Structure 1
Amino acid sequence: MKYQDSLQQASEKAAQVKAFLQHVGLAAHPVNYAVCYDYISGYNAELCHVIEQKLAARALLDDFVMADLYSRFLAPANKQQEQLLNDASSMVSRMAAYSDVAAEQVDEYIQQLDVGIYQLQQFSDKQQPVPLLQQLHQQTTDFRLSQQQLKQQLLLAHQQSHQLRQELEQVKQQRLLDPLTGLYNRFAMQNQIDLWFSEQPSRRVAAIAINLDHFSRFNQQYGATIGDVILTKVARKISSYVQSSGLPVRSGGEEFLILLPDVDLRSASEIAEQVRRGVEKLRFVSSRNKTTLPKITISLGVSLFQHRENWYQFLGRTAQVLQLAKQRGRNQVASEIMLSA
Structure 2
Amino acid sequence: MSQDTFTLSAGYLKKIVPLLMKYQVPATPTNYALWYTYIAHTDAELAKIMTDAIRECGSVSAAQCEQLYQDHIAEKHDKDFHELQTNLQAMAQEMGNTMVDTMKDTDVFQNTLDKSFKQLARVGEETLTMEETIALVRNAVKGSKEIKQSTSFFKNQLAEAQKEIARLKETLAEANEQAVNDALTGILNRRAFDDQLGTMISNPPPKGFCLLLCDLDHFKNFNDTYGHLMGDQVLKITAKRLSDYCREGIQAFRYGGEEFAMLVPNRALNGSRRVAETIRASIDKLVIKDKKTGTKLDNITVSIGVAEFEKGDHAKALIERADKQLYEAKNLGRNRVMPIA
Bin of the TM-score, shorter chain as denominator length: 0.3 to 0.5
TM-score by length of 1: 0.47
